[in-house]
Structure 1
Amino acid sequence: MPPPRSGPRVGLIVGIVAGAVALLLLLVCGAGAFIWYLQRDADGGGGDLAGVVNYRETNPDALSQEHRPDGSTISYPMIPPAGGPHYPEWQNCNGDVYDAPVVDGNAVHSLEHGAVWITYRPGLPASQVEALAERVRGQSYVFMSPYPRQPSPISLQAWGYQLAVDDADDDAIDEFIRQYRETASIEPGATCGGGTTRTR
């Protein structure tokens, strides 16, 4: 008597088991990727960059998203400001290089949208100013301007993050932009175009 024909049944069972294993692997990988994304988003997309001041941890109360009337006085606990109350209109921040100081309340609004604001102390050598400008021109969500009262020669701001730099050749500038441009946004997807271009 020939043995019972079990081939199709065994193949079906093997297929079901293989499919279940593949589905389980997809779920595990997907969950891991989702957790990584949440941690990255909570961290502003940045890893460890020496010298960055994280106001999200050290002074979160200073990072109010409140809109204040245009022209009203706003005081910030950090110079230049790296977040906090701001004016309704943002500073245009699509690779804009300003040769005069911009208004804090407009610049901070740009940070809320995810921009990185590079500032430099007047008197910085022209070659260094140009080296900074080369990093800005043509780049969305980046802008720069002089800032007379800042303590360091160069400063970088994203919403809740700040880095003081002494020299335009410092690799930390590129790393800060890479880590925080757009990822530090409090309003993901908000535009950097169509804002004001006024200076003080």
Structure 2
Amino acid sequence: MMAAKKKRKRPTPPPPPVRTRPTRAATAPAGPTRREQTRAAQRTQDRRDQLRRRLTTAALVTVVLAAVSLYIFIDRREAADLRAFLTAGSCTVDTESDPTAGPGANHVASPSFQVNPPAGGNHLASAARAGVFAAAAAPADGLLVHSLEHGYIVIWHEPGLASEQMSQLTEFEAANDGDVLVVERAGMRTPVVATAWNQRLLCGQVEKAPLDRFFDEYVGKGPEKVARG
């Protein structure tokens, strides 16, 4: 008898693949809303505007400081140049004057003056008019100081001034008619003194160039503005 054939064992089929659900990609975060974008843009613009204002303010402050410094420099330079011109000859300058109670409160019945000749201080309520005055007819100091307050120039000279110098003073008064008083006065330290409000030019003789410059610089510069003449 023939041997029985062995049955071939069928291979075990592989297990079916496990189906896995695909993983969803992570959702990207949502971007800023339009309102948030608008606010962010506004904040950026505000910062820019603030920076611009600061830079503008800094620039303006720099310009103002530079202008003030330049003004002070020019003012001091002009003052130095004026002083040098006025004192080139026999003249000196000073700002001696008696104190005042302030504009509008400095009219007193009986003023007295320590500075000779006076160039400021409390004074009478009326002012002297322009002209040439000998000592006997000279207005009171209180009237003359009030004239200085109005912007007049008063030129004082000692008695017995040389005739040619006296002629120069009368010509100076005539050339500046209405703005100058020429007054004879004894007891001064120098023969000729020109005065404006709180300004004095003291000269050993009549010197036309300094007198002209002093007049141009200070006429009409008194603290009380009125029509002169």
- Which range, TM-score by smaller chain? 0.5 to 0.7
User: What does 1:87-126 align with in structure 2 at a 5 Å threshold?
Assistant: 87-93=124-130, 96-100=131-135, 101-126=138-163
Match of 2:23? none
- Distance, in Å, in 2 between the alignment partners of 1:153 and 1:177 is 18
Match of 2:36? none
Query: Of residues 25, 40, 54 in structure 1, which corresponds to 2:95?
Result: 54
Deviation at 1:132, TM superposition (A): 0.8
Deviation at 1:118, TM superposition (A): 0.2
Runs of 4 or more consecutive aligned structure 1 residues displaced over 4 Å after TM superposition: none
Matched, 1:68 2:105: no
Whether contact under 8 Å (1:86, 1:109) holds in the other structure is yes
SS class of match (1:62): coil
SS class of match (2:206): coil
Match of 1:13? none
Deviation at 1:121, TM superposition (A): 0.4
SS class of match (1:192): coil
TM-score (norm 1): 0.64
Deviation at 1:151, TM superposition (A): 1.6
Deviation at 1:99, TM superposition (A): 2.4
Whether contact under 8 Å (1:97, 1:137) holds in the other structure is no
Deviation at 1:75, TM superposition (A): 2.2
Larger RCO of the pair (alpha carbons < 8 Å, separation 6+): 1
Unaligned residue ranges in structure 1 (runs of 5+): 1-27, 194-200
CA RMSD for the aligned pairs? 2.9
Whether contact under 8 Å (1:119, 1:146) holds in the other structure is yes
Residue by residue, what CA displacement relative to the aligned partner does 1:144-180 show, whole Å, maximum 9, x if unpaired?
1101121211001100001111111352111111111
Deviation at 1:102, TM superposition (A): 2.2
User: What does 1:11-160 align with in structure 2 at a 5 Å threshold?
Assistant: 47-48=82-83, 49-50=86-87, 51-55=92-96, 62-65=99-102, 66-69=106-109, 72=110, 74-93=111-130, 96-100=131-135, 101-139=138-176, 140-160=178-198
Report sequence identity in percent: 28
Label 1:141 to 1:170 Cα distance change in 2 as closer, same or farther (>3 A).
closer
- Distance, in Å, in 2 between the alignment partners of 1:62 and 1:76 is 9
Match of 1:12? none
**Whose Rg is larger?**
2
Whether contact under 8 Å (1:117, 1:144) holds in the other structure is yes
Label 1:79 to 1:172 Cα distance change in 2 as closer, same or farther (>3 A).
same
Q: How many residues align?
A: 148
Whether contact under 8 Å (1:62, 1:77) holds in the other structure is no
Deviation at 1:138, TM superposition (A): 4.4
- Distance, in Å, in 2 between the alignment partners of 1:62 and 1:181 is 21
Unaligned residue ranges in structure 2 (runs of 5+): 1-62
Whether contact under 8 Å (1:113, 1:192) holds in the other structure is yes
Match of 2:228? 192
- Distance, in Å, in 2 between the alignment partners of 1:128 and 1:97 is 14
- Distance, in Å, in 2 between the alignment partners of 1:150 and 1:64 is 26
- Distance, in Å, in 1 between the alignment partners of 2:141 and 2:187 is 12
